[in-house]
């Protein structure tokens, strides 16, 4: 205990502090000016993000229930960053929303849950973090209370996530039964590869797969993405996924080191299914959020491709890609959020002729989509390349070949959007939209990030360094 | 053989698990589905308690886990029911098959 | 040794004139173009004369044999250490002779065109093309390298294309130019493959090295003659293919079809290219490689002989029936070139045996004079009559006295009436054939008779026959062409009359040594008589307008029609190109490309779309379905990894 | 010491400057000046290369520069040139300048257009100077997407389909390349399990033949798609014909050369043993492309389709040259790349300029343009004559070199392939003359053609630039032989390794 207690958990403390400040403001009820509150909140989040850079130490707390190191701190800060960007982009939506503060409280609570999940040293902590992130998220999905789709999405999410966590818990109980421990530090030595343990691995994997939208556990994704408010969709597709990937990298892979073959084979099947099915569904989507849901499913397949190799380099690639993915996806979502809030249009066809009326936003979409498709000179190219290189290091060229060919398919649908925005004529295009400072800032950060992240190898080298510490 | 052993408990929990699954997959009523999930969670609880008592009695990991599961299940149910109520406002129904507006 | 630099001027002057006229002429000095072109050609001609004088009389001969002198040589394109395309100047008797012929005839044509093309708005273009052609032809004749000859060969082809298509607004001119180029290109394919074979066998492209390696007993010759493909040695194949290229340019069977159509070009062009110079390129090529043909591949030389003889007869028969005067002349050209070809074909190498070679070159030389003259006269006539058709002419001897006389001289020359030039060269050819191959000799004699007939048919129809009825009455009085046109006629007529007296064999022979061939009066009587017979028949049929020719044609109806229809070779070609190449090759490929290859690509795209549409039902929107797939997948994994995999 | 990075820097700065441009005139001039500077830089590079070689420098790559990029994966920014790359760079520079000049009167979205053109050229320059497979791949892909936008936005006809097809097929090709590159990478253990993307280093490592046998097809077909390898050529006709003029010029002139260069520099150079094993397949496909392309061209009615199919045929010569694996043939392939690049750019340029004035590309609807558009029609004819391999133009030099090189392979199969390839030049003559005869010669087909104006100064300049470049090779091929001879020799030494081990 002592000062260490605060320093090691600084991210969590900071979040809790923000939540409490907001709660007090809410309870007090005197401040009604959303614009000012939003500015305040965003400043708080920005400070929170900056805090993530200072005094990152490694250590354990609560009898190894909670552990942290500079890599974990970095991962958390990625989430902080993504949340900040999402918050900036939500400005248009929230500036007149009467439950603005609740939104932030719920959002930050889920983020807190993810932090605990990432830092967990024990299944119990992990489970708590997972549920802490899942339950408020369901409420957030339903945040557009008066929209039918929003509540349907929330229902699907809450029921299925309860179901998924039930199955995962069953797996966890079996692992407890076979080893007598829930501690991540002790478990690897105890996992020997008995049938029951394979079963637990599969059950636990399904829990992760559900959260990550791995095919065939992905079916909720598109519906929820479509129904949820844009800001939440962005959050789901970026932050929630990134958190699970971090846990997968730092926890699950080492945990089941004794079952490498099964682990790899499970991933092998999942990767192929995820990439192919994600792409096949993405091709035929009309709603842009739904489209992004499937495209993000395919992206997850690529991330898993790197994770399947299981080396420091491949994990570096995965995390590097997640950063790029965050920047690119949020670039698109920023524009979509704006358009959705200003005009209520969410269909791909609505974007016809968008470039004529909103050239700058058109380029943002194009650049972000190119990054998602892995087209140079965007960072997405580097991200994808490293993922595939990582996948190839395992020597399975079938997997790499499928992934590479699916990049072509994915290019098709990304280009289709680009075509819609740039080429297709439209009698009634979306009117020119004025962007606010927050959005400009967020998109600016994303675009600069997309352009320079790839060229400067610094970020990649830094992540790699963190893995080798 | 009169003593109730680990196997019996595991059989019970496994049955409970599958009953829960079955219920979740077949019942149309959302509340019932939620209850089925509770059954699954309870089977997990039984597992944890049984393992703790029979196999690893010197620590209380399993028991603690169970306590947390129960608590979280309550929270989850609360949020889920809130969502279902909100859904009912739109659909005037809590039949799960009615809520299929978003698909394909 | 001749100082080489000024020899380079011979081809370069026309080239510079081409650049000057072609790039700037039209805009800046349209009027002066003809003068510039003519002057440059004149300069070339003078230099050629100097070169010829130096070569033949000062330095050419060493020990009684004319040497092959490489006056200039630079590597142009190095393929491999041994094989390179060089650009250079090779002087030997035939190239020097050709230099003279080309520059002289071209100069004459340039002068003539000043009158003939007067007032044409695109005269600058015309002169630039003429210069280009002359440059290409000169480059061709001085080639040191078989690839150099191919390069200029193609350039000659393209300038011929440009000149035939000079009246580009006339679809028939465009079609003719296309035909000429494509047919010769097709033949050039053989030339190219032949070059590839020869270069592979001899590991060189240089003429002198190549001839040396393939005629003396070396490993190259051995490998070239032993490697056999369908019964012929590689060398025979190579030479035959090279000859195919030559046959294309020289309008030998079966590549002759372009030549009559080529008459769509302006008449001076026909005179220059399609009579006097370019069409003999094939003969020149065979002559250039003659030692190899003669010593190492007699089979190939036989092919040359038969193709030549047969083409010669074939063309003569057709010429008898044509009514377009330029076409008659075109077929006559083909026939005369056939003479040259078979003369080469029946020749041996060295000494008396090489008479055919000398005769062929001699005939080439004399033919250039009288055929150019014929065409220029025809041009003058056409210029006046505004028609190519024989039937529109007649009785022009009074209106165009100079043209009449020169035309008559040319006719006598081509017919082989002593002492005009054609007599000497033709007698030598027939003599060579007589000594070597009686069948070919017989064909030659027959052709000679036909030549006499159709030439005088032409002569009588144009200048005698019915009196001339002009469409425009007033032009009927002053008929003669302007001086710029007449001057070349007179000069050429002079040469057509006297060049036969040159002792040609002294300068040009197969092995370089002087060949003194005596005039064989006893042998000459028969051909001359046969020629006179031909003239007599023509006189009888065409001197006065009558209906005997018509009756005759009806009497021979089948054969006449076939000959009039050029034995339907054109139609055969049309069938092959349209029917087979387009419909049976091109169309199926286009179909295949569109439906199979492209269709395959599109199919793969639509398959993806189809699968996507098919599997969409998994995303049913029902939570319980999702849960079922979820759980089924879990169970599936369990089964797979616990029971199946292990 | 020459710094090659300047070749990337100039287009990059040009592209940025284009984005800064205020109005159309500014943008055009900025783009033009940038590309002219690049051309001058290319020429300077040529001379400093020749000077280095003359000074006896026999290193394989000159002006090398390397710095570590992603050190964890051993990815380097590694550039260097040899004569072959310099030839390609010059080609690119010339075509880009010409393309910009021809697009001078672009009506819509000037800024985007010139930005994309310059970006595209950046990709090509980078590709040609890269010696690191990763960087090379980066630039290869960089040069794909701008084409999609160029065709999609400024194209004509069925542009969306064409653009998508082009992008997807090229990306499919590059996906194969990617797998091939990664497989190569993981087969290059240069000690301690460290792998390398370094082209030169890899060439010195002998990858097991068994491994080569499956990597080579990936790389060759992958790059082959770019150069319209039969049967993966169908993007070319649609893409070329829908593209705006400058994009067609670029696409056929440079983009297809990326593939040829990759086939030579990456696939064949790194996998010599496999190249020898697969030689017959390459020859077969190349010959098929040559003949098939020629006959398909014969049946086209649209001028752009015609030239696009003829490009398929002409690029077949490149592949034939590479597939024959003799030094002369490879030199021929390189010259053919340069030659075809210039010639097809000129051809597309002239077709585009004619189209701009007559609003039709159908051969049947054109006619007599020589009368009203003498300059443009002459350019068209010159391009056609170059295409049919007339001596004096670059096409002749290239084709003859390929033929001579191909004939050095004495096997009957290769002989037949060579003869068929030779035969294609006859077919070429047929379709070129048909097109020229119908469209620019003959009587004037349409009264409207009488009211058109001949080329503007920019167009004249562009045409003359390309024609001069074509003639400079056609008349004096020795300089380009000097340029690439040494380097081909070095490549051959590596390829010869494959021969000796067979």
Residues D312, D198 share a domain: no
- The neighbour count for residue D226, using CB atoms within 10 Å, is 28
B10 Rama class: left (phi>0) / alpha (psi -120 to 50) / beta: alpha
Residues D345, D254 share a domain: no
pLDDT tens-digit readout, C11-43: 889 999 999 988 887 888 888 888 888 999 999
Region D372-386: what's the mean pLDDT? 89
Out of D274, D293, D328, pick the residue that ends a domain: D274
Q: Among A22-36, D114-128, D253-267, which stretch is predicted with the lowest mean pLDDT?
A: A22-36
Region D339-357: what's the mean pLDDT? 91
Pairing state of beta strands C232-233 and C228-229? antiparallel
Residues D287, D212 share a domain: no
Cross-chain residue pair A280–C641, CB shorter than 8 Å: no
The residue segments making up the domain with residue D406 are 278-495
Contact assessment for residue A80 and residue A126, using Cβ atoms and an 8 Å cutoff: no
Is any Cβ of chain B less than 8 angstroms from the Cβ of A25? no
Whether C230 shows a pLDDT value over 80: the answer reads: no
3-state SS class at C3:
coil
Whether A25 shows a pLDDT value over 80: the answer reads: yes
How far apart, in Å, do the first and last CA atoms of chain D sit?
A: 41
CA-to-CA distance for A376 and D174, rounded, in angstroms?
12
Is any Cβ of chain A less than 8 angstroms from the Cβ of B62? yes
Closest of C389, C380, C207, C233 to residue C296, by C-alpha = C233
CA-to-CA distance for C140 and C285, rounded, in angstroms?
9
Give me chain A's average pLDDT, please. 90
Q: Chain B, 1-60: which have a CB under 8 Å from a chain A CB? A: 17, 20, 24, 30, 33-34, 37, 40-41, 43-44, 47-48, 50-52, 55-56, 59
CA-to-CA distance for D402 and D340, rounded, in angstroms?
13
Residues D489, D345 share a domain: yes
Give me chain D's average pLDDT, please. 89
Out of D228, D250, D274, pick the residue that ends a domain: D274
Contact assessment for residue B43 and residue B22, using Cβ atoms and an 8 Å cutoff: no
Is any Cβ of chain A less than 8 angstroms from the Cβ of C519? no
Region A183-195: what's the mean pLDDT? 86
pLDDT at site D170:
92
Q: Which residues of chain B are within 8 Å of residue A174 when distances are taken between CB atoms?
A: 47
**What's the gap in Å between the CA of B98 and the closest CA on chain C?**
8
Whether C575 shows a pLDDT value over 90: the answer reads: no
Of D138, D159, D163, the CB nearest to A376: D138
Q: Among A130-134, A268-272, A277-281, D228-232, which stretch is predicted with the lowest mean pLDDT?
A: D228-232
CA-to-CA distance for D414 and D408, rounded, in angstroms?
9
Residues D296, D262 share a domain: no
Whether C471 shows a pLDDT value over 60: the answer reads: no
pLDDT at site C56:
85
Out of D246, D274, D302, pick the residue that ends a domain: D274
Percent above pLDDT 90 for chain C: 12
Searching chain A, which residue's CA lies closest to the CA of residue C610?
A: A280
Residues D310, D163 share a domain: no
Of B21, B26, B97, the CB nearest to C622: B97
Chains in contact with A, where contact means 3 or more Cβ–Cβ distances below 8 Å, are B, C, D
CA-to-CA distance for C645 and A25, rounded, in angstroms?
58
Domain total for chain D?
Answer: 2
Q: Which residues of chain D are within 8 Å of residue A395 when distances are taken between CB atoms?
A: 186
Searching chain C, which residue's CA lies closest to the CA of residue D435?
A: C178
Searching chain C, which residue's CA lies closest to the CA of residue B37?
A: C627
Band (D498; pLDDT cuts 50, 70, 90): low
Of C617, C620, C631, the CB nearest to B100: C620
C578: CB partners within 8 A, 6+ apart: none
Whether C646 shows a pLDDT value over 80: the answer reads: no
CA-to-CA distance for A241 and A218, rounded, in angstroms?
12
Band (D2; pLDDT cuts 50, 70, 90): low
CA-to-CA distance for D427 and D442, rounded, in angstroms?
21
Tokens of A181: 């421990």
Region B57-85: what's the mean pLDDT? 92
CA-to-CA distance for A206 and C633, rounded, in angstroms?
9
Region A275-280: what's the mean pLDDT? 92
Per mean pLDDT, which of A111-115, A280-284, D159-163 is the most reliable? Answer: A111-115
Cross-chain residue pair C78–D481, CB shorter than 8 Å: yes
Is any Cβ of chain B less than 8 angstroms from the Cβ of A173? yes
**What's the gap in Å between the CA of A445 and the closest CA on chain B?**
33
Whether B1 shows a pLDDT value over 60: the answer reads: no
Residues D236, D91 share a domain: yes
Tokens of D160: 């969306």
Give me chain B's average pLDDT, please. 90
pLDDT at site D105:
83
3-state SS class at C467:
coil
Examine chains B and D and say if they touch (3+ CB pairs below 8 A): no
Residue C42, classified by CB atoms within 10 Å of its CB into exposed (0-12), middle (13-18) or buried (19+), is: middle
Pairing state of beta strands D62-70 and C69-78? unpaired
CA-to-CA distance for D380 and D348, rounded, in angstroms?
9
3-state SS class at C4:
coil
pLDDT tens-digit readout, D175-223: 999 999 999 999 888 877 788 999 888 888 888 888 999 999 999 999 9
Of A131, A182, A222, the CB nearest to B76: A131
pLDDT at site B74:
93
CA-to-CA distance for D52 and D62, rounded, in angstroms?
8
Name the DSSP letter for residue C227: -
Whether C472 shows a pLDDT value over 70: the answer reads: no
Q: Does a structural domain hold residue D501?
A: no
pLDDT at site C418:
79
pLDDT at site A274:
94
Tokens of D419: 């003869």
Per mean pLDDT, which of A223-227, C296-300, D104-108 is the most reliable? Answer: A223-227
Contact assessment for residue A94 and residue A45, using Cβ atoms and an 8 Å cutoff: no
Region C400-416: what's the mean pLDDT? 87
Contact assessment for residue C112 and residue C485, using Cβ atoms and an 8 Å cutoff: yes
Searching chain C, which residue's CA lies closest to the CA of residue D295?
A: C586
Band (C519; pLDDT cuts 50, 70, 90): low
Whether B52 shows a pLDDT value over 80: the answer reads: yes
Contact assessment for residue D140 and residue D170, using Cβ atoms and an 8 Å cutoff: no
Residues D293, D238 share a domain: no
Q: Which residues of chain C are within 8 Å of residue A280 when distances are taken between CB atoms?
A: 608, 611-612, 615
Tokens of D377: 């029609």
Residues D378, D268 share a domain: no
Tokens of A173: 């109980």
pLDDT at site A1:
57
Whether A85 shows a pLDDT value over 90: the answer reads: yes
Return the CATH fold of B6-93. Answer: Helix Hairpins (1.10.287)
CA angle C98, C100, C106 (to 5 degrees): 95
**What's the gap in Å between the CA of D100 and the closest CA on chain C?**
25
Instruction: Give the DSSP H or E segment for D226.
Output: helix D209-226
- The neighbour count for residue B51, using CB atoms within 10 Å, is 26
pLDDT at site C522:
75
Region C394-410: what's the mean pLDDT? 83
Region C110-137: what's the mean pLDDT? 88
A163 Rama class: left (phi>0) / alpha (psi -120 to 50) / beta: alpha
What are the distances in angstroms from CA A330 to CA A101, A134, A245, A367, C282?
A: 22, 21, 18, 12, 75
Residue ranges in C250-297 assigned as alpha helix (H): 258-261, 267-271, 281-288, 290-291
CA-to-CA distance for C330 and C454, rounded, in angstroms?
12
Residue D322, classified by CB atoms within 10 Å of its CB into exposed (0-12), middle (13-18) or buried (19+), is: buried
CA-to-CA distance for A177 and A186, rounded, in angstroms?
14
Whether C470 shows a pLDDT value over 70: the answer reads: no
Name the DSSP letter for residue C187: H
Searching chain D, which residue's CA lies closest to the CA of residue A377?
A: D142
The torsion of the CA quartet A147, A150, A156, A157, rounded to 10 degrees, works out to: -150
**What's the gap in Å between the CA of A462 and the closest CA on chain C?**
37
pLDDT at site C474:
47
Instruction: Give the DSSP H or E segment for D62.
Output: strand D62-70
SS (H, E, C) D405-442: HHHCCCCHHHHHHHHHHHHHHHHHHHHHHHHHHHHCCC
**What's the gap in Å between the CA of C603 and the closest CA on chain A?**
14
CA-to-CA distance for C378 and C170, rounded, in angstroms?
21
**What's the gap in Å between the CA of D166 and the closest CA on chain C?**
11
Residues of D with CB under 8 A from a CB of A: 69-73, 75, 123, 134, 137-139, 141-142, 144-145, 148-149, 152-153, 159-160, 163-164, 167-168, 171-172, 175-176, 178-179, 182-183, 185-186
pLDDT at site B78:
94
Residue D1, classified by CB atoms within 10 Å of its CB into exposed (0-12), middle (13-18) or buried (19+), is: exposed
Cross-chain residue pair A385–D176, CB shorter than 8 Å: no
Residue ranges in D107-208 assigned as alpha helix (H): 110-129, 133-142, 145-154, 159-186, 199-204
Q: Does a structural domain hold residue D312?
A: yes
CA-to-CA distance for C35 and C40, rounded, in angstroms?
8
Cross-chain residue pair C621–B96, CB shorter than 8 Å: no
Which of A170, A280, A410 would best serve as a mutation to test chain C binding (most C beta carbons within 10 A)? A280
Contact assessment for residue C270 and residue C237, using Cβ atoms and an 8 Å cutoff: no
pLDDT tens-digit readout, D424-433: 988 899 899 8
pLDDT at site C479:
66
Region A168-195: what's the mean pLDDT? 89
pLDDT at site C320:
85
Contact assessment for residue C457 and residue C327, using Cβ atoms and an 8 Å cutoff: no
Band (C1; pLDDT cuts 50, 70, 90): very low
Whether A253 shows a pLDDT value over 90: the answer reads: no
pLDDT at site C2:
52
CA-to-CA distance for D125 and D79, rounded, in angstroms?
11
pLDDT tens-digit readout, D240-252: 989 998 899 998 8
Band (B47; pLDDT cuts 50, 70, 90): very high
Contact assessment for residue A327 and residue A379, using Cβ atoms and an 8 Å cutoff: yes
Pairing state of beta strands C84-91 and C69-78? antiparallel
Q: Which residues of chain D are within 8 Å of residue A397 when distances are taken between CB atoms?
A: 179, 182-183
Residues D175, D43 share a domain: yes
Closest of B12, B8, B15, B56 to residue A178, by C-alpha = B56
Residues D292, D255 share a domain: no
Whether C63 shows a pLDDT value over 80: the answer reads: no
Band (C587; pLDDT cuts 50, 70, 90): confident
Query: Which residue carries 């330095």 as its tokens?
Result: C59
Residues D321, D191 share a domain: no
pLDDT at site D358:
86
Q: Which residues of chain A are within 8 Å of residue D185 when distances are taken between CB atoms?
A: 389, 392
ipTM of the complex: 0.90
What are the distances in angstroms from CA D8 to CA A381, C577, D5, D38, D131?
A: 19, 50, 5, 9, 14
Sign (positive/negative) of CA torsion D383, D387, D390, D391? Answer: positive
CA-to-CA distance for D343 and D31, rounded, in angstroms?
23
pLDDT at site A294:
93
């Amino acid at each position: 205990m002592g000062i260490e207690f605060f320093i090691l958990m600084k991210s969590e403390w900071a979040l809790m502090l923000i939540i409490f400040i907001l709660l007090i403001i809410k309870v007090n009820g005197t401040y009604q000016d959303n614009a000012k509150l939003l500015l305040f909140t965003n400043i708080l989040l920005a400070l929170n993000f900056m805090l993530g850079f200072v005094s990152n130490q490694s250590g354990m707390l609560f009898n190894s229930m909670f552990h942290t190191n500079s890599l974990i701190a970095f991962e958390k800060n990625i989430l902080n960053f993504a949340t900040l960007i999402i918050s900036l982009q939500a400005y248009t939506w929230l500036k007149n929303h009467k439950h603005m503060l609740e939104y932030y409280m719920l959002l930050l609570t889920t983020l807190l849950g993810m932090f605990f999940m990432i830092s967990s040293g024990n299944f119990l902590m992990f489970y708590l973090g997972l549920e802490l992130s899942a339950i408020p998220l369901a409420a957030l999905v339903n945040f557009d209370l008066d929209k039918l789709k929003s509540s349907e999405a929330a229902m699907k999410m809450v029921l299925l996530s309860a179901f998924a966590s039930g199955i995962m818990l069953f797996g966890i109980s079996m692992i407890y039964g076979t080893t007598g421990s829930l501690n991540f530090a002790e478990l690897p030595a105890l996992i020997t590869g008995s049938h029951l343990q394979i079963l637990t691995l599969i059950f636990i994997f399904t829990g992760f797969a559900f959260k990550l939208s791995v095919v065939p556990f992905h079916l909720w994704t598109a519906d929820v993405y479509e129904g949820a408010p844009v800001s939440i969709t962005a959050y789901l597709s970026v932050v929630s996924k990134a958190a699970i990937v971090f846990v997968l990298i730092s926890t699950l892979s080492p945990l089941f080191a004794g079952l490498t073959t099964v682990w790899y084979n499970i991933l092998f099947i999942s990767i192929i299914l995820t990439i192919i099915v994600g792409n096949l569904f993405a091709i035929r989507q009309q709603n842009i959020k739904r489209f992004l849901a499937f495209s993000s499913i395919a992206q997850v397949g690529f991330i898993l491709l790197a994770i399947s190799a299981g080396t420091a380099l491949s994990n570096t690639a995965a995390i590097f890609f997640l950063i790029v993915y965050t920047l690119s996806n949020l670039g698109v979502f920023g524009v979509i959020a704006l358009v959705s809030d200003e005009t209520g249009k969410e269909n791909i066809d609505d974007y016809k002729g968008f470039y004529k009326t909103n050239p700058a936003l058109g380029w943002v979409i194009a650049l972000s989509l190119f990054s998602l498709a892995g087209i140079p000179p965007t960072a997405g190219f580097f991200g994808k390349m490293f993922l595939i290189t990582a996948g190839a290091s395992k020597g399975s060229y079938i997997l790499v070949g499928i992934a590479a060919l699916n990049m072509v398919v994915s290019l098709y649908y990304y280009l289709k959007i680009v075509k819609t925005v740039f080429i297709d004529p439209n009698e009634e295009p979306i009117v020119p939209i004025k962007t606010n400072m927050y959005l400009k800032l967020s998109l600016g950060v994303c675009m600069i990030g997309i352009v320079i992240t790839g060229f400067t190898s610094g970020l990649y080298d830094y992540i790699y360094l963190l893995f080798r510490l | 053989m009169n003593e109730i052993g680990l196997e019996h408990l595991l059989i019970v929990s496994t049955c409970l698990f599958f009953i829960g699954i079955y219920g979740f997959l077949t019942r149309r009523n959302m509340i019932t589905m939620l209850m089925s999930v509770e059954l699954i969670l309870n089977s997990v609880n039984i597992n944890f308690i049984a393992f703790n008592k029979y196999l690893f009695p010197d620590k209380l990991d399993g028991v603690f886990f169970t306590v947390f599961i129960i608590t979280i299940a309550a929270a989850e149910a609360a949020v889920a029911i809130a969502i279902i109520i909100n859904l009912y406002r739109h659909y005037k129904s809590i039949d799960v098959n009615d809520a299929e507006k978003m698909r394909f | 040794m001749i100082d080489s630099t000024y020899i380079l001027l011979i081809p370069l002057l026309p080239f510079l004139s081409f650049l000057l006229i072609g790039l700037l002429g039209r805009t800046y000095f349209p009027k002066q173009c003809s003068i510039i072109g003519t002057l440059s050609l004149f300069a070339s001609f003078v230099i050629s004369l100097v070169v010829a004088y130096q070569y033949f009389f000062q330095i050419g001969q060493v020990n009684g044999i004319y040497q092959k002198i490489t006056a200039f040589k630079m590597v142009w394109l190095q393929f491999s250490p041994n094989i390179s395309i060089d650009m250079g100047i090779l002087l030997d008797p035939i190239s020097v002779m050709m230099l003279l012929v080309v520059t002289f005839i071209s100069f004459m044509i340039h002068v003539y065109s000043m009158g003939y093309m007067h007032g044409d708005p695109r005269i600058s273009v015309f002169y630039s093309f003429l210069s280009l052609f002359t440059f290409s032809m000169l480059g061709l004749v001085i080639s040191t390298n078989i690839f150099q000859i191919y390069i200029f060969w193609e350039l000659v082809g393209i300038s011929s294309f440009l000149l035939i298509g000079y009246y580009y607004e006339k679809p028939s001119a465009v079609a003719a130019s296309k035909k000429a180029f494509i047919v010769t290109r097709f033949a050039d394919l053989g030339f190219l493959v032949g070059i590839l074979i020869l270069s592979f066998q001899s590991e060189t492209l240089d003429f002198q090295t190549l001839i040396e390696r393939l005629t003396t007993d070396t490993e190259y010759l051995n490998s070239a003659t032993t490697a056999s493909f369908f019964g012929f040695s590689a060398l025979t194949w190579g030479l035959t293919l090279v000859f195919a290229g030559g046959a294309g340019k020289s309008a030998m069977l079966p590549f002759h079809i372009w030549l009559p159509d080529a008459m769509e070009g302006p008449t001076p062009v026909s005179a220059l290219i399609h009579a006097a110079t370019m069409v003999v390129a094939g003969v020149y090529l065979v002559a250039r490689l003659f030692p190899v043909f003669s010593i190492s591949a007699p089979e190939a030389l036989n092919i040359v002989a038969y193709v030549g003889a047969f083409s010669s007869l074939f063309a003569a028969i057709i010429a008898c029936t044509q009514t377009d005067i330029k076409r008659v002349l075109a077929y006559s050209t083909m026939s005369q070139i056939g003479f040259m070809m078979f003369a080469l074909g029946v020749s041996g190498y060295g000494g008396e045996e090489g008479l055919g070679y000398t005769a062929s070159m001699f005939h080439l030389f004399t033919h250039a004079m009288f055929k150019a003259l014929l065409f220029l006269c025809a041009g003058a006539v056409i210029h006046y009559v505004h028609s190519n058709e024989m039937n529109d002419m007649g009785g022009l001897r009074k209106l165009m006295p100079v043209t009449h006389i020169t035309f008559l001289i040319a006719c006598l020359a081509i017919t082989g009436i002593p002492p005009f030039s054609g007599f000497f060269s033709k007698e030598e050819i027939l003599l060579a054939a007589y000594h070597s191959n009686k069948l070919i000799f017989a064909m030659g004699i027959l052709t000679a008779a036909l030549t006499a007939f159709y030439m005088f048919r032409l002569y009588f129809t144009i200048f005698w026959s019915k009196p001339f009825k002009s469409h425009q009455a007033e032009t009927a009085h002053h008929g003669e062409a302007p001086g710029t046109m007449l001057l070349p006629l007179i000069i050429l007529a002079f040469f057509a009359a006297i060049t036969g007296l040159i002792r040609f064999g002294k300068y040009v022979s197969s092995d370089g040594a002087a060949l003194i061939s005596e005039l064989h009066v006893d042998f000459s009587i028969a051909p001359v008589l046969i020629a006179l017979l031909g003239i007599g028949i023509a006189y009888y049929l065409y001197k006065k307008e009558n209906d005997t020719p018509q009756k005759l044609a009806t009497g021979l109806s089948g054969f006449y029609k076939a000959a009039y229809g050029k034995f339907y070779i054109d139609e055969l070609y049309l069938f092959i190109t349209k029917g087979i190449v387009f419909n049976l090759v091109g169309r199926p490929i286009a179909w295949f490309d569109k439906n199979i290859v492209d269709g395959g690509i599109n199919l793969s795209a639509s398959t993806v779309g189809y699968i996507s549409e098919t599997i969409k039902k998994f995303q049913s929107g029902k939570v319980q379905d999702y849960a079922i797939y979820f759980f089924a997948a879990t169970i599936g994994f369990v089964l797979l990894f616990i029971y199946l995999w292990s | 010491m020459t710094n090659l990075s300047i070749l990337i820097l100039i287009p990059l700065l040009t592209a940025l400057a284009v984005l800064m441009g205020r109005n159309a005139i500014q943008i055009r001039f900025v783009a033009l000046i940038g590309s002219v500077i690049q051309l001058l830089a290319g020429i300077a590079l040529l001379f400093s290369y020749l000077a280095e070689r003359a000074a006896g420098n026999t290193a394989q790559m000159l002006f090398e520069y390397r710095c570590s990029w992603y050190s964890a994966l051993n990815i380097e920014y590694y550039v260097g040139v040899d004569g072959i790359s310099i030839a390609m760079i010059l080609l690119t520079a010339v075509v880009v300048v010409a393309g910009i000049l021809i697009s001078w009167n672009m009506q819509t979205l000037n800024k985007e257009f010139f930005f994309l053109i310059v970006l595209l050229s950046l990709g090509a320059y980078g590709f040609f100077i890269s010696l690191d497979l990763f960087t090379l791949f980066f630039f290869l892909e960089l040069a794909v997407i701008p084409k999609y936008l160029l065709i999609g936005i400024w194209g004509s006809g069925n542009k969306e389909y064409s653009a998508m097809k082009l992008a997807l097929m090229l990306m499919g090709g590059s996906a194969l390349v990617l797998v091939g590159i990664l497989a190569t990478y993981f087969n290059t253990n240069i000690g301690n399990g460290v792998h390398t993307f370094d082209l030169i280093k890899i060439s010195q490592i002998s990858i097991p033949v068994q491994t080569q046998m499956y990597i080579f097809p990936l790389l060759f077909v992958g790059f082959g798609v770019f150069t319209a390898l039969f049967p993966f050529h169908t993007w070319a006709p649609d893409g070329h014909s829908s593209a705006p003029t400058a994009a067609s010029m670029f696409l056929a002139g440079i983009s297809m050369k990326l593939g040829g260069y990759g086939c030579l520099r990456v696939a064949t150079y790194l996998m010599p043993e496999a190249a020898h094993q697969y030689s017959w397949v390459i020859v077969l496909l190349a010959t098929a492309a040559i003949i098939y392309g020629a006959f398909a061209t014969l049946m086209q009615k649209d001028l752009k389709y015609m030239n696009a199919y003829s490009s398929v045929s002409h690029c077949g010569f490149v592949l034939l040259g590479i597939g024959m694996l003799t030094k002369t043939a490879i030199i021929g392939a390189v010259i053919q790349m340069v030659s075809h690049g210039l010639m097809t750019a000129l051809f597309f340029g002239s077709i585009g300029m004619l189209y701009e004035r007559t609003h039709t590309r159908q051969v049947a609807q054109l006619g007599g343009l020589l009368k009203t558009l003498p300059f443009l029609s002459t350019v068209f004819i010159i391009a056609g004559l170059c295409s049919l391999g007339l001596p004096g133009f670059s096409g002749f030099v290239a084709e003859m070199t390929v033929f001579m090189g191909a004939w050095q392979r004495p096997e009957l199969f290769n002989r037949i392939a060579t003869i068929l390839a030779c035969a294609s030049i006859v077919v070429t003559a047929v379709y070129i003359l048909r097109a020229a005869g119908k469209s620019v010669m003959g009587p004037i087909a349409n009264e409207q053609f009488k009211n058109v104006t001949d080329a503007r100064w920019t167009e004249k300049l562009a045409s003359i630039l390309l024609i001069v470049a074509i003639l400079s090779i056609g008349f004096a091929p020795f300089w380009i032989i000097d340029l690439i001879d040494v380097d081909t020799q070095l490549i051959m030494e590596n390829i010869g390794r494959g021969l000796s081990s067979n």
